[in-house]
Amino acid sequence: MLAEDRIGEECGVFGMYDLSGGDVARSIYYGLESLQHRGQESCGIAVSDTNGPKGKVISHKDMGLVNEVFTGEDIDKLVGNIGVGHVRYSTAGSSVRENAQPLVLNYVKGTLALAHNGNLTNAPELRDELAYTGAIFQTTIDSELIAYLIARQRLRTASVEDAVALAMPQIKGAYSLVIMSPRKLIGARDPHGFRPLVLGKRDNAYIFASETCALDTIDAEYIRDVEPGEIVTITSDGQILSNKTRCIPEKEHGHCIFEYIYFARPDSVLDGQSVYDARIRAGRFLYKDDPIDADIVAGVPESGNVAALGYSMESGIPYGQVFVKNSYIGRTFIKPGQKNRESSVKVKLNALNHAVNGKRVVIIDDSIVRGTTSDRIIRMLREAGAKEVHMRISSPPFLWPCYFGTDIPAREQLIAYNKSIEDIRKIIGADSLGYLKLNRLGDLVDNKMSICEGCFTGRYPEEPPVSDIRGEFEA
């Protein structure tokens, strides 16, 4: 889907510990670049030298893309063999520098740096509770709450990983965490496993990352996924400690299915399931369940392409390219209210008339959120001469908000909330419109995997918060 109508993933995390003492900032930089699709608002890296003064952390973070925030000089200054990095999703409101991660702090046992992907559903209660015992908050991010809980538990535990283990029962919701203490790197994941987190290795260095594509980028090998509820600790003598006291039965897991449909990069494998394969399957189901005769099938670039391939495989309708996407687009200067003929969609996409003209086109997108761009996409195809335009969506209709780390908007803004599919078809001007069937969701992934499909069904693996938790506190 296009930026205008997109859903934002909250974050990507990356941590690395080179036990041989080599600097990790450069690899973290490339790892974050490969996770940039998970968040484009802000980013940061914090590193420490485990052989230097204890707990001295150097960090650099700011608003912007990884390649905008870091110069080569910045990277050179980040000297250290252990570090964490973070990319954050861009929303208009809370887009302030204070909220950039990793969060770096001093506490009773030295320093910590935290990078968090997810959303705590009991954040308001935690915030109140902490405030009522004298806490002060300099940001509005959940990491600050988690840090407080760890710091308080640390007073009575022998190790930082034990403090993490004691803090985890206090927090609810979705979290994949990478935590750096002076001599340890920790990866932890909520019991439902909403957000992914993988463990990798390169030579004598260990890596935690949101997706396997980040391991590939730095030529590291995939070891395994951090399990839902597990705390994995890399120690300075190279041990991999695992604490599974928070683990729950696999059938209670709630892996976000939308990671497979849209968020993750297709070359990633998350919890043993290839994202690419899931999308191919989605495309196949779309044809199987709702076959139509056409001359060409294509994706809305880039996110619809793989499902379109699956549709083509299943249907035998030739795969084609019907749009050219301009990858050089930056900010657009289209002022609201201005009588301006350049639409922001046109600036980003142009139809390939010669591929489309006279053809019956099946066009695949991953979702329709508000519906504000689908009509323009279809109109562009018709203006390019398409005889018919059939739209297929590789997910079921969004009907419910997400409280577990994505930015699906309030129900009132979801086009499918009040409209029938036929209504939507008319609004966007398609000749036909088909969504992925709800009962196909489970089949997108390995059938042993328990998924969260709350945004489609309203049934969440974990109690949703009473009130909407998103954007409440603001610095």
Handedness of CA 139, 88, 376, 326 (dihedral sign): positive
443 is in an annotated binding site: no
Contacts 24+ apart (CB under 8 A), 274-279: 276/306, 278/444, 278/445, 279/306, 279/307, 279/310, 279/394
**Starting from the edge strand earliest in sequence, which strands make up the sheet with 296-299, in order?**
296-299, 360-365, 388-393, 432-435
Positions in 341-370 near a second copy (CB under 8 A): 341-343, 346-347, 350-355
Instruction: Scan residues 164-203 and list those touching a second copy (CB under 8 A).
Output: 202
Site for a second copy in 276-315 (CB under 8 A): 276-277, 302, 305-306, 309, 312-313
Least gap, CB of 183 to a second copy (angstroms): 18
- Tell me, by CB under 8 A, how many residues bind a second copy: 90
| Residue 187 DSSP code | E
Q: Alpha carbon of 223 to those of 30, 202, 209, 307: distances in Å?
A: 19, 10, 11, 28
Both structure tokens of 208: 């935690």
Binding mask 196-235 for a second copy (x = CB under 8 A): ------x----------x--xxxx----------------
Q: Which of 79, 80, 2, 95 is nearest to 42 (CA)?
A: 95
303 annotated to bind ligand? yes
Token pair 């990633």 is found at: 268
Query: Is 43 labelled as part of a ligand binding site?
Result: no
Pick between residue 230 and residue 314 the one whose CB is nearest to a second copy. 314
- Least distance CB 342 / a second copy (angstroms): 5
- Restricted to residues 253-272, the positions that interact with a second copy (CB under 8 A) are 265-267, 269
43 part of the active site = no
Which residues in the 20-49 window bind a second copy by CB under 8 A?
26-27, 29-30, 33-34, 36-37, 40
Please list every residue from 42 through 101 that binds a second copy, using CB under 8 A. 56-57, 59, 65-68, 70, 72, 75, 98
Q: Is the dihedral of CA 19, 23, 26, 29 positive or negative?
A: positive
Q: Is residue 138 close enough to count as binding a second copy by CB under 8 A?
A: yes
**Closer residue to a second copy, CB minimum distance, 154 or 440:** 154
Q: How far apart are CA 158 and CA 105, in angstroms?
A: 19
Is there a binding annotation on residue 365?
yes
Quick one: CA torsion of 242, 246, 251, 254, rounded to 10 degrees?
Answer: -100
Footprint on residues 431-450 left by a second copy (CB under 8 A): none
Q: Does residue 136 belong to the site contacting a second copy (CB under 8 A)?
A: yes
Tell me: cis bond preceding 409? Omega within 30 of 0 counts. no
Q: Would you list which residues are annotated within the binding site for [4Fe-4S] cluster?
A: 256, 402, 452, 455
* Catalytic site positions: 11
